[in-house]
Structure 1
């Protein structure tokens, strides 16, 4: 009988941020436990204290170089409330929406082609040296070229609206600090046709993979779960920038709907566990065992009643038809959902570029100063919550962030264990390709581990002293 083993995948590759997976096998080589650990710590919720509220939209986007616009806009939406502004001028809201659609588009394209596609195109157990964007460029150069140019287009949208492609300054409390010049608009419009065509071709790749590998997709890291997102107020349409909170269970039953996102703390509880710097949110009324949920593109496809752009709406109907209109709980179907959103973003970008409001000059609204602000947005990876309080000196005294990857923490851990049990249990020899299957499950969520790493209250600290032979000499701990 073999000895118990601990297998560690460190670092998890082709994700943003630093994390590892530990897999515990017993004497019979059966998986007993498998966990995703986030080992990187970022203290934004603490060191934002004392900063002036108008600095927040610029500072918080430093959480991430991949999705800075999401934090920029969520922070700006919270600061709108601090500034006493409930309704932005049309130019300001539409410029922010244009910025956001550019961000979601480029982030989804980056994830699908650069991080996920090598697994889908070459196989989960293909040699590690082959599973990368450079091999895609070598074997399918036109596909690789389009991936690069599509992401470039999204970044140019961000630059036009935020001032820079990364860590821009466009959104400010109460509005925006620029409109869209005609020459910039025309340059972007000249490329919208090819972007629409390429987005549809990328959608076809994801759709066909999901349908052609239906048995694998249905079984791979998949399980029933609740789903949550913003939806448009009134009709429940997909809305990535603003809306009200909606959550459904695994069968599509309503858990809550039409909830003002400023009441998120009445609905959600943030649990902590000793082995990760990420929190584990759950729906208060259901408790931690059954109240956990997923967010992101697939969850948005499940919660949205329809999509208000024609190409994406047709694709949405086709995705929903696979499960007969019931929620789709297949983790790998996230790639199909992600590409539907790329098509939707391109359609939205086109509509906004021809909207004359983007050349308006009424950019900022004002109101009566408040002491608390909450901004919520649908980031590429899912629901993103920013919550702040400000004192009489305009300085931040409280900050709580619940990012998309944090919402998905329980789901990712369950996916890791599901794949590990199905593909590693009973194997005496564990290959790199087998371990990559665990990473494939994580990558389907497109996690941003840097964004998600922060603590609630005291984090435990453990220090161990080892002698030259590796024997434990002493151990000291602080915190619970």
Structure 2
């Protein structure tokens, strides 16, 4: 008799989701699916709004990465206005983005992932959290809190508030950076860089404890999508959109944002409001790719800052022959990006251009369509707008970083479930040679730590689920009427 194991809710992620694991008659994993059932729908209710409202409106898509939506939206609106924004505004937008990168990565690594990494995947659930980490490793928790606070304060010093700022506007930003705020940010950088380096060394020292997780946490060849900077260095704000194949060879490099749909397509899943993009010429299966810190490091030739480049060289030793394929190493990549972000903040503040008072270009609507692309902490973010003759939004498409990773997440969860629940250590679960599950065959309850490992695959990607739920018309609605004792009286289903 087939059996279903449900993990509900998935913990230590941003948003709400559940995982269902289906076992066959032998107790072996047949399938594993992520279900994201919340719906945000910003693509629909932005229609009809004036284009000037879009950055501050779409920033409300997410409380964790509002800056990313501000920037992608403002860049799309810049295209609608057909303006070139002042150099100081470009640097200020970049500075804001790096501040968000640091705070968001710090949240992901220290608050959500490090309890698994430093306390153990099998630690008791009541201890395996940020409070347990603070009790066991207070110095790590303090440094994590300090890094996140630094990033949030940087956002506040630039944009006036930490969450949902409206400082980034079509044509630039609304006010310049004061030298007082610039000096306050710069004064904290040495301590923050030391904290980030300390924890990179700490993570490198525990990797040997996670050989099974590294082998089975969504470890497979895929494409890698990211923006590309000059000479191929890490880039978060501008540059061509670039996709590498499984061997690290370039599939496309597209400088015109409006042409993204020639390369990327989207599909909806029957059990999720996540949209699932893929490389259009290859199709959903062969065209699966990943975005985010791991993808960016795999796609970049270098970081472009000294400490991060040194860390990148060590990172590449994990897979000298090609891309690092285990999603477990998203954690490693995040720490390198924190170091890089801090170094870039230092460089930007050292350039006096950033204090120029000319920070905004003004114009009316001059183009019917605009696309803005930037790198959010979780990966590539695309905002695509069309406007009518009055400058009101007539159509919106948003491709969110977590959505880009959707197909890889689904495949990775299934891979990990087969490896850890079947207990045979298979890497892909596709060979058909699955041994009997030791846990199920001996009629033992599956240990909580094994299920935590399935959740931990999802946490590698640091998914922002509320951000990414825009698909319509695919999720069926089921309404159940039950008695007090739980007996089903009637069920009403609305199909796709």
Using the alignment, how far apart are the partners of 2:137 and 2:447 within structure 1?
A: 27
Contact 1:460 1:477 in 2 (8 A): no
Contact 2:103 2:150 in 1 (8 A): yes
After TM superposition, give the deviation of residue 132 of structure 1 in Å: 0.7
Residues 193-233 of structure 1 show CA distances to partners (whole Å, capped at 9, x for unaligned) of: 1111111112222333335644541333311111111111x
Report the TM-score when normalising by structure 1. 0.95
After TM superposition, give the deviation of residue 259 of structure 1 in Å: 3.9
Structure 1 regions of 5+ residues with no counterpart? none
**In structure 1, what is the equivalent of residue 487 of structure 2?**
470
Contact 2:38 2:466 in 1 (8 A): yes
1:435 is aligned to 2:451? yes
Alignment of 1:135-150 (within 5 A): 135-150=132-147
Q: Answer with 93-102 or 253-262: which moved more.
A: 253-262
**In structure 2, what is the equivalent of residue 195 of structure 1?**
192
After TM superposition, give the deviation of residue 245 of structure 1 in Å: 1.1
Alignment of 1:401-440 (within 5 A): 401-425=398-422, 426=437, 427-428=439-440, 429-440=445-456
Distance 1:347 1:423, change over 3 A: same
**In structure 1, what is the equivalent of residue 427 of structure 2?**
none
Contact 2:272 2:475 in 1 (8 A): no
Q: Choose from 34, 38, 41 the match for 2:39.
A: 41
After TM superposition, give the deviation of residue 467 of structure 1 in Å: 5.5
After TM superposition, give the deviation of residue 147 of structure 1 in Å: 1.1
Distance 1:474 1:120, change over 3 A: closer
After TM superposition, give the deviation of residue 257 of structure 1 in Å: 2.2
**In structure 2, what is the equivalent of residue 23 of structure 1?**
21
Distance 1:139 1:180, change over 3 A: same
Report the TM-score when normalising by structure 2. 0.92
Contact 2:7 2:18 in 1 (8 A): yes
**In structure 2, what is the equivalent of residue 450 of structure 1?**
466
Using the alignment, how far apart are the partners of 1:133 and 1:361 within structure 2?
A: 42
Q: Which runs of 4+ in 1 moved over 6 A?
A: none
Contact 1:118 1:131 in 2 (8 A): yes
Using the alignment, how far apart are the partners of 1:464 and 1:175 within structure 2?
A: 47
Contact 1:70 1:100 in 2 (8 A): yes
Using the alignment, how far apart are the partners of 1:322 and 1:433 within structure 2?
A: 26
Contact 1:96 1:161 in 2 (8 A): no
Using the alignment, how far apart are the partners of 2:158 and 2:367 within structure 1?
A: 27
Q: Answer with 32-41 or 252-261: which moved more.
A: 252-261
Report SS of the residue matched to 2:215. Answer: helix
1:126 is aligned to 2:142? no
After TM superposition, give the deviation of residue 134 of structure 1 in Å: 0.8
**In structure 2, what is the equivalent of residue 300 of structure 1?**
296
After TM superposition, give the deviation of residue 430 of structure 1 in Å: 1.4
1:230 is aligned to 2:242? no
Alignment of 1:378-393 (within 5 A): 378-393=375-390
Contact 2:218 2:408 in 1 (8 A): no
Structure 2 regions of 5+ residues with no counterpart? 423-436
CA RMSD of aligned residues (A): 1.6
Distance 1:293 1:166, change over 3 A: same
Contact 1:185 1:353 in 2 (8 A): yes
Q: Choose from 57, 75, 82 the match for 1:59.
A: 57
Contact 1:270 1:281 in 2 (8 A): yes
Alignment of 1:155-194 (within 5 A): 155-194=152-191
Report SS of the residue matched to 2:232. Answer: coil
1:12 is aligned to 2:32? no
Q: Choose from 257, 269, 274 the match for 1:273.
A: 269
- Paired residues in the alignment total 474
Using the alignment, how far apart are the partners of 2:356 and 2:208 within structure 1?
A: 45
